[in-house]
Structure 1
Amino acid sequence: MPQTGATRHQKFLKSEKSKTKLKSKKKDLPKGTNVTKTNFKVKKIVIKEQLKKRGTNEVLSSKKLNLKDLLSRLNHFNTKSRTEALDGIKDIITHADILDQNLGQIILAVTPLVLNVEKVVRHETLKVLQLVLSNVEIQKLDPFFDIMATYLRSAMTHIDTRIQEDSLLFLDLLLVCTPEKVVQYFHKILPNFLDMISKLRIDSKPGRTLTVNLGSQITSVKWRVKVLHRLKDYLSKYINLNQVQTKEKPSSKPAQKFDESKMNIYSLFNPVYTSVCSVSCFSSKNSQDVAPLDEVEKFKHYVNTLMPLLYETWLEVCPKTSSGMNIETVINEDAATLRAVFNLLGALGTSGSMGPFSS
């Protein structure tokens, strides 16, 4: 007879009862192990930075940080920490003695941030540099302006197009605050304008060709016009300052002789002994081995390279007119900027600013 479900269940229960049963004994925990101990010790957390005593006359930012702490935070990996440090420097930079005593440290620490990847850091850096250049005498920038010009040229030729775009803002700042200094680097900065809009030909043909600005949010034509607009401002500033310097050249005065009959006051030291002189042995290159810079020939080379690029850019922005019809056309802003660059290049030759180039 086949077994039903009830029969199978009874056999299962019978087999379970026949198994050996193992009984577990309950063991009580030893006394005192389930008690919360309250005899722990507490030690204070002390941050050494908080124990620093600030001087009564020390200039501090809104977050109670001095200049040394702010400059050290400029190298922090966090973008917010760098921007907050730049904001703190802006708070204390207009104080009386901060720039006079720490001008070199501020320029050496802040200027490299114009090459920073983050846009907000670059823009805050330009704001700090604007405050520095606006509140310091231009003569005090002589030892440090070479550093600023080097970072300007590095930003203008940077591989990141966003840093190149902000380098034009840096150039605008220098043209407004320190035009005399930035003009002195004319033959070093001018080739960078060519690199921003063109590249050397790969083939055997000499010269340059226009580049396409693919990695930027603005079109190639807009970018070239933007660069050429700064070139126009730079050339105009160069012409104006050269014309002023030629007019204000002091005439040679005869040497004064000592007259016993007159009560005159003379300086204790000869001005020749206190004047600044350059020592060639401390320079990177010996001045005798370096050929003199021929500014006229260099500028001719720049013009010969730039003119074909201007014509190619002009063909992209010039207004389209039907042939055989004398109709007045209105040029746009881009075409007007290019015409202004053409006029300034001609003005450099006719105004005598480049000497023999005028011929």
Structure 2
Amino acid sequence: MVKTGHKKFVKKEKARVKLKKSYKTILPKGLNVTNTEFKVKRIVIREQLKERGENELLSAHRKLNVKELMSRLKHNNSAVKQDGLSGLFEIVTLNATSLIKSHFSSIVDSVSSLMLDISGNTRKAVVKLLSAMFSQVTEEELSPLFEIIVRYLACAMSHMDSGVREDSLLIIDILLEQCPLLTAKHRSLLPHFLDMISSQTRSHEQARQLTVDLDSRTTTTVFRIKVLTRLRSMLQAIVHSSKTKPGQSNANREVTVSSDTRHVPLYSSQQHAQPFVYDKKVTSNQTLADVQSYTQMLMPLLMDTFIEVVADRKQAGSDIVVEAVALLQCVVDVILNVIHILRQCDTGGVAWFKQTYGRSLRDHLFTGRFPYTVGSWGSLPNKNAKQRRKDCEAALKLLNTSLDLQCTGQNLSLCLLAFQLGIDSPVNLDYVLTSIKCCRSLNPTILACLDAIVSKSDLSQCITVTETLLSLARDPGLTFVVFPYLYNIVIRVDVKKLAKKTRVEDWLDTLPTYLCQKTPIPGSVINSIMTLAARRIPALQNSIDSHIEHILDALPELEIKECERNSEPELSYKRSLARLIYWVQEWDEELSEEICLALRKQHFGPLTPYVEDLWLLRNETFEK
């Protein structure tokens, strides 16, 4: 018979060599326990044993000093860098400015290079830290280190990574907000704005073509609007820096004369101290050739950018989308600032711009399009709904105003551009007049349009505008709204010529009555009336002579808008009105006695000494 498997297994087990089993114990009795003894060697780290000073700046979270935090900025790990930046932010925000200034240069030097970091969270932390630091120092204190920031910023604006380029715009916002005058001096940043939206062609050095970035987090149109918005702010800073020069001021200076005063200096022979320029290459002056060269690169890009967004004129007419509204505002503001800079450089700069780009602007911005309106809520029709909504929100945020379906602000800016370049069209003037009728508050753009109209020395247009304003001035609700516009015309145009065609003398005759009413009056109106009174305009002078008693009688109780009762600003305006005593032509003994009686009764309150001096001075002039 065949053997079964079990029998084979048993036979094999019997044949296998077996080890003998030991009956001895492994450990003696009583020693069957675990030995827990171990040896320890001390490790000493010197930095941990270092004592902190009482006045040493430490972060609130990890208690690290500035040097330790800056060492973390050089680490390869982005989380470690962000931890160091957050610690520096805590030190900057929680400590006094005087304690931070000693570390300011080292922090700026270490942080500036992180503008180019590949991590977006790190770059956002850099923006947050720089904003906190720049708000605590002056521009003069920042000037020695500003060149470092500008160099790294220029690299960020031309970086290959689209995220770095977009975040560089946030750094520009900080510089323009915290130190605009210092930023305006570094005009080397201007070409980098063009590099962000275009590239040079091989055919010509100044010729450029728009570029499209497919890797960007935002659409091309929104990104171009962001860049042009910062370019507009940069140009505005340049214009403002040219207007405000140190040591120069046209403001009136009030001198208090007492018994100890021996002389009043009319001018100073000493040279004012100018801020020290650390980089000799940086200069605030720019020649006409430099501005023209930059304009020749900029203008074609502006036109091409706008044409890409605006729909075909035959299909849409003047209706544009929300992104086009924001882009139109940026384009027009940039052009207006360029014209202002050209005017500052040379008187022939504006004429060159008008001859070179006047026809192009008229064809692309005005003909068949003006005035603009918002035709559809959303973006271009080939985009999906989600992206369309996102682009609209981004465009509205960049506009920094609520959406106006009639595009009033953009159309008024276009009217201002047309008046400055001499693009004559009755549509532009009619739009300005219509806007004046609808506007219930002072609009600076309308005021600038009237300045441009007056500067053209076109009497017919001045008469048309003046008649419209005079008709609106009869409305009590628009009296002080229209006043700045009329004042701007009267102060710059010959009143005799206007009086032949308009009733401007009737309006001048009513101005002193504003000073006798119990309703509050703006302080700007008081200053304007005093300026007109100094010009000795007959219509206004006769009205002042007939109302001077009522004006002085109402002076103590006169209410001035946005001024607290008996505050220094209110007393300053009232002292200005009291000077009308000196401008009275029909001065006689009866008027002098009435003022003397009011002075005895202390009718003028705290203004009594000032009015008494004017009264004595006027009597001396009358006796002579």
TM-aligned CA deviation for residue 169 of structure 1 = 0.8
Partner of 1:233: 233
Q: In 2 relative to 1, CA 309–14 (structure 1 residues): closer, same or farther, beyond 3 Å?
A: closer
Q: Structure 1: how far apart are the matches of 2:67 and 2:5? A: 89
1:210 aligns with 2:210: yes
Shift of 1:341: 1.8
**Greater displacement, 12-21 / 99-108:** 12-21
Find the partner of 2:340 among 332, 338, 347: 347
Q: Which residue of 2 aligns with 1:79?
A: 78
- Report the residue type matching 1:207 in the other structure: A
Q: 2:440 maps to what in 1?
A: none
Displacement of 1:89 after TM fit? 1.2
**Kept after mapping to 2: 8 A contact 1:92/1:98:** no
Task: Report the alpha carbon displacement of residue 249 of structure 1 after superposing the two structures with TM.
Answer: 7.8
- Going from structure 1 to structure 2, the CA distance change for 1:225 and 1:44 (only over 3 Å counts) comes to same
- Cα 1:21–1:154 shift into 2, 3 Å: closer
Q: Distance in 2 between matches of 1:310 and 1:277?
A: 34
**Which residue does 2:309 correspond to in 1?**
317
Deviation at 1:47, TM superposition (A): 4.3
Displacement, 1:223? 1.3
Other-structure match for 2:297: 305
Matched, 1:109 2:110: yes
Alignment of 1:221-260 (within 5 A): 221-245=221-245, 248=248
Q: Partners in 1 of 2:205 and 2:185 — Cα distance?
A: 33
- Once the two structures are TM-superposed, the CA of residue 14 in structure 1 deviates from its matched residue by 10
Equivalent position amino acid for 2:225 in 1: V
Letter in 2 for 1:332: V
Aligned: 1:333 with 2:332: no
Asked whether the equivalents of residues 93 and 99 of structure 1 are also in contact (C-alpha less than 8 Å), the reply is: yes
Matches of 1:277 and 1:166, distance apart in 2: 29
Quote the residue 1:264 is aligned against. Answer: none
Match of 2:152 in 1: 151
Question: Displacement of 1:189 after TM fit?
Answer: 0.5
* 1:81-116 Cα shifts (integer Å, max 9, x gaps): 222222221222242333221111011011111111
> In the TM superposition, what whole-angstrom CA distance separates every residue of 1:294-323 from its partner, at most 9, and x where no partner exists?
732222111111111111111112354338
Q: Secondary structure at the match of 1:199?
A: strand
Separation of aligned partners in 2, 1:277 and 1:191: 22
- 2: CA distance, partners of 1:174 / 1:11: 93
Structure with the largest fraction of helix:
2
Question: In the TM superposition, what is the alpha-carbon distance from 1:248 to its structure 2 partner?
Answer: 1.9
Higher relative contact order (CA 8 A, sep 6+): 1
What secondary structure does 2:199 align onto? strand
Deviations 1:91-150 (A, max 9, x none): 222423332211110110111111111111111111111121111122122221100111
Counterpart for residue 129 of structure 2:
128
SS in 2 for 1:209: strand
Offset of residue 217 of structure 1: 2.1
Tell me, yes or no, if structure 1 residue 23 matches structure 2 residue 18: yes
8 Å Cα contact 2:208-2:297 kept in structure 1: yes
Alignment: residue pair count: 316
Question: Which residue number corresponds to residue 52 of structure 1?
Answer: 50
Equivalent in 3, 16, 31 of residue 8 of structure 1: 3
Kept after mapping to 2: 8 A contact 1:213/1:223: no
**Any unmatched runs of 5+ in structure 1?**
251-270, 288-292
- Counterpart of 1:107, as a letter, is V
Are positions 1:357 and 2:352 aligned together? no
RMSD: 3.5
Q: Where does residue 35 of structure 2 map in the other structure?
A: 37
Amino acid at match of 2:248: E
TM-score (norm 2): 0.46
Distance change (3 Å), C-alpha of 1:80 and 1:276: closer
Report the AA paired with residue 328 of structure 2.
Answer: A
For 1:86 and 1:277, the matched residues in 2 are separated by: 30
Identity %: 32
In structure 2, relative to structure 1, the CA distance for the partners of 1:207 and 1:25 (3 Å cut) is: same
Tell me, in whole angstroms, the C-alpha distance in 1 between the residues paired with 2:306 and 2:12. Answer: 104
Q: Measure, in 2, the Cα distance between the counterparts of 1:170 and 1:11.
A: 87
Q: Please report how far the alpha carbon of residue 153 of structure 1 lies from its aligned counterpart in structure 2 after TM superposition.
A: 0.6
Deviates more, 1:328-337 or 1:60-69: 328-337
SS of the equivalent of 1:143 reads helix
Structure 2: gaps of 5 or more residues: 251-270, 352-624
Q: Give the 3 Å change call, closer, same or farther, for CA 119–355 of structure 1 in structure 2.
A: farther
